[in-house]
Amino acid sequence: MTKVLVHIELESGGIAPVSYQLLGAARQLAGQDGTVDALLISERPQDQVSQLGAADRVFCLSGDSAASYLPEVHLKALLAAREKSQPDIVLIAYSSAGLDLAAASAATADLSLAAYCQGVERDGDELQVTSQLYAGRLLAKSRVALPAVLSVIPGAFEEAPGRIEGNPEIVDLTAGLDLSQPRMRLLEVIEPEGGDVDIAEAERLVCVGRGIGDPDSIAEAEELATLLGAELAGSRPVIDAGWLPKSRQVGKSGKRVAPKLYVCLGVSGAPEHLEGMSKAAFIVAVNKDPAAPIFETAHLGSTCDLFDLMPSLVEGLKQRGC
């Protein structure tokens, strides 16, 4: 009988989509006779528990210390839930929280661990796990002994099977957890700045990646975007370099977008970028490296140098009367 424990994340006050994906995967791993436990750390868990119907039991930590994510609090609660639940498998999202918690919990409880997981199957006493490595260039298949922690890539599993209403049993961890003498304190939560446009609402996006090379070339991409009636967006390195404002970042630590058209220029297609745009309806990728992972997700691809292709696109659009 397989027991699975899922770490639930909150996003703008509700259950994060990735947590439903994890619950769905957990149900599948647990099979007919297994059980699924969830850990919910929330100021008001009673508002959310009914959405965790895919779980049999929900371990809850509530109150002030649960109001916002804090690595130390989540790790203590996760270790306490693991003690009680004794799971074979702990599922944690590959997110900022997951980066803190997966390895830390594995090290504390002597669990094996596989990260960047996009697929998993039970194989006797072990798991067969498929992980994305080398920024998505290679897939690793590994054999992982139980008990184990898996850190799972958002978007790897369907949301629907885990999004079930219900009345799971509640186990309150709050009283039994010693959170005195904290070594970290939350000072403030900073909401993202609005920016001049909301790229998540745009129907068409042109996204520039590190391949754009320098800030001056962004103007060229901007001309293309304007002719296409698109907004300009960037991958993380472009934002980090200060070439575009943070509000235009697509990906794990930026915005999730699903436009009708997504043209990416000089973007390699790292898992953290794909997480933000793989649901776009039509994706055109320009990257001079034929092995770039973006071509697995794109619908149309070209290995042209983007500096050769951009002028031809601009010219072509003008000829077509744009």
Partner 1 sequence: MHIVVILRLVPDLSDELDLAEDGKSIDREWVGIALSEFDEQALEEAVLLKEAILPKDGGGAKVTAIARAGEGVERMLQGALARGADSAILLEGDEEEYLDSRATAPIFAEALRSLQPDLVLTGVQTIEDIFGQLAPYLGRLLDWPQVSAVSGVELGERSCILRQEYSGGRQARIEVDLPAVVGLQTASQPPRYVSASKLKEAMKSGEISRLPAAAEPMHNRAEIESLAPPDRTAGARMLGDEPEGAAAAILDALDERDLISR
Ligand X SMILES: Cc1cc2nc3c(=O)[nH]c(=O)nc-3n(C[C@H](O)[C@H](O)[C@H](O)COP(=O)(O)OP(=O)(O)OC[C@H]3O[C@@H](n4cnc5c(N)ncnc54)[C@H](O)[C@@H]3O)c2cc1C
Ligand Y SMILES: Nc1ncnc2c1ncn2[C@@H]1O[C@H](COP(=O)(O)O)[C@@H](O)[C@H]1O
Q: Among residues 174 and 303, whose Cβ is nearest to ligand X?
A: 303
Q: Is 14 exposed, middle or buried (0-12, 13-18, 19+ CB in 10 A)?
A: exposed
Nearest to 263 by CA among 317, 194, 216: 317
Mask for 244-263, x = binds partner 1 (CB under 8 A): --xx-x--xxxxx---xx--
151: three-class secondary structure by DSSP: strand
Residue 44 binds partner 1, judged by CB under 8 A: no
Residues 159-218 contacting partner 1, CB under 8 A: 183-193, 204
Q: Which does 152 bind (CB under 5 to 8 A by kind): ligand X, ligand Y, partner 1, none?
A: none
Closest C-alpha to 206, from 244, 240, 237 = 244
105 binds ligand X (CB under 6 A): no
258 interface partner picked from ligand X, partner 1, ligand Y, none, CB below 5 to 8 A per type: none
Distance between CA atoms of 96 and 202, rounded to whole angstroms?
A: 26
Residues 94-133: x where in contact with partner 1 by CB under 8 A, - otherwise, as a string: -xxx-xxxxxx-xxx---xxxxx-----------xx-x-x
Residues with Cβ < 8 Å from 13, sequence gap 6 or more?
Answer: none
Q: Which among 210, 74, 89, 81 is positioned nearest to 152, based on CA atoms?
A: 89
Residues that bind ligand Y (CB under 6 A): 196, 215, 218, 222, 232, 243-245
Angle between helices 218-228 and 306-319 (to 10 degrees): 30
What is the Cα–Cα distance from 294 to 268, expressed in whole angstroms?
A: 6
**Is residue 289 at the binding interface for partner 1, with CB under 8 A as the rule?**
yes
Contact 158, 21 (CB under 8 A): yes
**With CB cut-offs between 5 and 8 Å by kind, which of ligand Y, partner 1, ligand X, none does residue 222 bind?**
ligand Y
Pick from 34, 237, 259, 301: which binds ligand X (CB under 6 A)? 237
From partner 1, ligand Y, ligand X, none, interface partner of 70 (C-beta below 5 to 8 A by class): partner 1
Q: Which of residues 53-92 bind partner 1 (CB under 8 A)?
A: 68-72
Contacting residues toward ligand X, per CB under 6 A: 135, 209-211, 235-237, 249-254, 266-268, 270, 272-273, 276, 286-289, 292, 305-307
